[in-house]
Structure 1
């Protein structure tokens, strides 16, 4: 255990180090540890840490997450990553924390680049759904109109597919997925499906199979959306290694 004398001596050494870093050794002692002097010391310490490679920028993240470019914003917003600081318009991330995040994702078998694509695809799909709903709502609430007096008694109930029809559609899509070996071209993440085609390999896939796979993804995503809205159920689909894992 350190003696009081040792602790005092070490504190004095730390103070002198801060003074040298802040460049305030020539100032009176009462001004050497002012708020501005300490802020300056903190900036200098960060510069030294960056130089030593303890902090990395967005452009460095691809070293730890394959295929990820400028993914800092996604990591901060999606995972609540907060071990960073900003300098101007640049973000600096503590390398050791980035390494831990990379290892944790790897242990969960999560490809960050693919997960980013999945979230983007889901967002775009929901934007389309929202746009359709907004257009229908706008049609109903539009106040400028001119109706002839003779226009009466023309109506119909809105179409809503039976739940059984949606479930049958999903089961058929599962069968098609397995029978046509679509797992080569499509990834299914629960209730959302995405094409596997990536540049530059997408040029080696025929237009017919691309079209077929895109159509399957659209049908699957819409059917899952319909099932969720009709029943509140979420789809569990783990193709194709375990076809019996399909549940509603």
Structure 2
């Protein structure tokens, strides 16, 4: 009599539902890129929690190498300073990251510290479309009052630079900064680009710029979908890191 082989289970999502319901602790003998392999193609939004920033960033880097066509989001940590949160763009960026993950699904990689930081939602925005007129002086004034910082080069969220007929803006709502090319006061083109290479990433017809100064604080739990699942790597260290962040 021919035996029927048991189904191969090489993803963490293939484990028995009773293990998920009981919040079981599992031990894996591998780390590194093997973590990405067992977490591939989640059936619902998945939150992966790591003990520190380095591990969450390494996971994302490995994921993009192994699965270039599958989206992954990284929840950035907010640097701790004696003056609290100095960069207003980071809480907004974190809020937009959570909103995209909540709406689109996939994997969100986070460290214990990143889960403890503040999150904000933008409340005001201005819409810019290619082919329409926008007085550059008025747009510059809006950016300043919206909390953006003028810089020599755009490399971080919340910065902008105006050079002649080219405006670069890094709205924290988006993964890449935006480049607006003007002819007089008419917007000829809108592109997203890489701040490292300055190469164009995509061409856009219309985009919304979000204010940083009018943002309001939100709760992390507002963004977590009901069907989301969470996986904690090295839970003991992750819990210790969270306790340290809570004390600071």
TM norm structure 2: 0.23
Structure in which a larger fraction of residues adopt helix: 1
Structure in which a larger fraction of residues adopt strand: 2
